[in-house]
């Protein structure tokens, strides 16, 4: 993480914007919705709101001195996994923390927000500015998690209630699948140090690629229906061994949130249960499903280096990622065209020369570098401005509650 300190007025405006978006995303959720935890991997919305505030308390306000914590017990309740900071509440029991209430968490957020704003206004040194920048990126990451986790919770409700009101959309014809060749050779990948990036995006380094082609659009729901119709979920030869075990143990017959009603595929999303739209990128598939689909299609997933090289090279991809109007506040969770994280074939491992940041704040990305898979791009739930071509998202191979789809590659 190398930063040049951003100008303070800009930083303050950005701080207020990011903090406000979190509250807007949580607004459609009742106190009850914000408290329940639907599985150990997901956290209550209330927890996300509090944890992102605790981050500023722990790493900025407390070291800065002169700060009175809102409640001294919150450190225990809202630390996520920073072993170096001290003991913390067990993750699978976050749904039992009924107190503080969602309202009190709102007051906590205001208390922390005002203290940070005051500090920014008084002027930050470079290290402090870096912590604020990190804290904002951290909060943006949790904004997407908040939406993912809330959607998962509502999906477990027997009647699949809508999170937000959402007009019914039409379903245009899917685009045909076209391929773009990328020549082999040496490429530089990883973050080059200009602007904010997480530690896991560096060091920038050289990779050798053989020539390949990459699809110019993601796999769609219509594509997936062909896979399903061709027995995709019943043919072990298409699957990794662990993937086939997951299919059988979890009874997968379609992507997450799909449900069949009277012979018609419906899909649960932030607008409730809707008719499946054929042209949308398929979403809520696991790595195992993405891998099996690619094998069925006679193709494969790209490596993360291939993805990054192709994305840097291809204007359409880039444009899609950088469109500033993509995420409208309150629109989180919408399945928009092209807007999914894309599974790569790469395991989540350190780049050559990777070193985590020193201190507790560095307990961030490096400690998860085993048995996870890299996703690239961004989703409809990624806050605008949080995308980067070098961004490395990661989930376990069986996870389906992320906004994750896939894009094919081939030799």
> Which DSSP string do the residues of 276-312 spell out, in sequence order?
PPTTSBP-S--HHHHHHHHHHTT-BPPPHHHHHHHHH
Q: Give the whole-angstrom CA distance, residue 385 versus residue 195.
A: 12
Q: Give the whole-angstrom CA distance, residue 175 versus residue 279.
A: 7
Among 102, 218, 247, 378, binds a second copy (CB under 8 A): 102
Does 157 contact a second copy by CB under 8 A? Answer: yes
Give min distance, CB of 285 to a second copy, in A: 15
Structure-token match 């997936």, residue found: 224
Does 358 contact a second copy by CB under 8 A? Answer: no
Element (H, E) at 18: helix 8-26
Among 68, 122, 208, 328, binds a second copy (CB under 8 A): 208
Residue 275: CB atoms within 10 Å: 13
C-alpha to C-alpha distances, 200 to 194, 269, 353, 362, nearest whole angstrom:
15, 31, 10, 10
Binding to a second copy by CB under 8 A, coded x per residue (else -) over 51-80, reads ----------------------x--xx---
Among 93, 121, 126, 323, binds a second copy (CB under 8 A): 93
**CA count, 13 A, side-chain hemisphere, 50:** 30
The whole-angstrom distance between residue 38's C-alpha and the CA centroid of its chain comes to 18
Does 27 contact a second copy by CB under 8 A? Answer: no
Q: Candidates 112-120, 172-180, 347-355, 380-388 — which segment interacts with a second copy by CB under 8 A? A: 347-355
Among 15, 25, 26, 38, binds a second copy (CB under 8 A): 38
Q: Which is nearer to a second copy, 128 or 200 (CB)?
A: 200
Does 201 contact a second copy by CB under 8 A? Answer: no
Does 207 contact a second copy by CB under 8 A? Answer: yes
Query: Helix H segments across 97-183?
Result: 102-122, 126-156
Q: Give the whole-angstrom CA distance, residue 315 versus residue 272.
A: 34
Does 205 contact a second copy by CB under 8 A? Answer: yes
Among 10, 178, 241, 264, binds a second copy (CB under 8 A): 241
Please give the residues from 307 up to 346 whose contact with a second copy meets the rule CB under 8 A: 345-346
Does 92 contact a second copy by CB under 8 A? Answer: no
Q: 214 has which bridge partners? A: 180, 409
Q: Which residues contact a second copy by CB under 8 A?
A: 30-36, 38, 46, 73, 76-77, 81, 83-84, 89, 93, 95-99, 101-102, 153-154, 156-159, 161, 186, 205-210, 236-237, 239-244, 287-288, 291, 345-347, 349-350, 352-353, 363, 367-371, 373, 397, 411
């Amino acid at each position: 993480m190398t930063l040049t300190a951003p100008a303070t007025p800009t930083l303050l405006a950005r701080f207020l914007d990011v903090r406000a978006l979190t509250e807007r995303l949580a607004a459609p959720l009742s106190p009850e919705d914000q408290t329940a935890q639907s599985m150990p991997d997901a956290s209550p919305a209330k927890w996300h709101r509090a944890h992102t505030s605790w981050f500023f308390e722990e790493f900025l306000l407390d070291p800065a001195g002169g700060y009175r914590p809102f409640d001294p017990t919150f450190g225990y309740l809202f630390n996520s996994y920073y072993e170096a900071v001290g003991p913390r509440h067990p993750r699978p029991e976050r749904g039992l923390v009924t107190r503080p209430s969602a309202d009190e968490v709102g007051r906590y957020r205001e208390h922390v927000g005002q203290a940070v704003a005051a500090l920014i206004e008084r002027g930050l040194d470079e290290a402090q500015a870096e912590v604020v920048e990190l804290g904002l990126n951290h909060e943006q990451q949790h904004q997407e998690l908040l939406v993912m986790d809330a959607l998962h919770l509502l999906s477990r409700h027997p009647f699949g209630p809508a999170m937000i009101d959402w007009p019914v959309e039409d379903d245009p014809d899917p685009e045909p699948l076209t391929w773009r060749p990328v020549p082999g050779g040496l490429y530089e990948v990883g973050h080059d140090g200009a602007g904010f990036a997480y530690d896991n995006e560096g060091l920038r380094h050289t990779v050798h690629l053989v020539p390949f082609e990459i699809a110019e659009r993601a796999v769609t729901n219509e594509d997936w229906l062909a896979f399903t119709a061709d027995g995709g979920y019943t043919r072990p030869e298409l699957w990794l061994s662990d993937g086939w075990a997951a299919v059988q143990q979890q009874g997968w017959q379609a992507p997450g949130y799909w449900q069949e009603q009277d012979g018609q595929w419906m899909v649960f999303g932030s607008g409730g249960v809707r008719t499946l739209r054929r042209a949308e990128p398929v979403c809520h598939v696991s790595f195992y499903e993405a891998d099996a689909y690619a094998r069925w299609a006679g193709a494969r997933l790209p490596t993360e280096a291939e993805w990054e090289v192709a994305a840097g090279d291809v204007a359409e991809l880039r444009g899609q990622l950088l469109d500033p109007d993509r995420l409208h506040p309150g629109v989180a969770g919408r399945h928009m065209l092209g807007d999914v994280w894309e599974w790569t074939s790469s395991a989540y491992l350190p780049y050559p020369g990777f070193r985590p940041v020193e201190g507790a704040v560095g307990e961030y990305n490096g400690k998860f570098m085993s048995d996870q898979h890299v996703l690239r791009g961004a989703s409809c739930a990624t806050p605008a401005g949080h995308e980067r071509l070098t961004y490395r998202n990661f989930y376990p191979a069986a996870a389906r509650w992320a906004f994750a789809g896939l894009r094919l590659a081939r030799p």
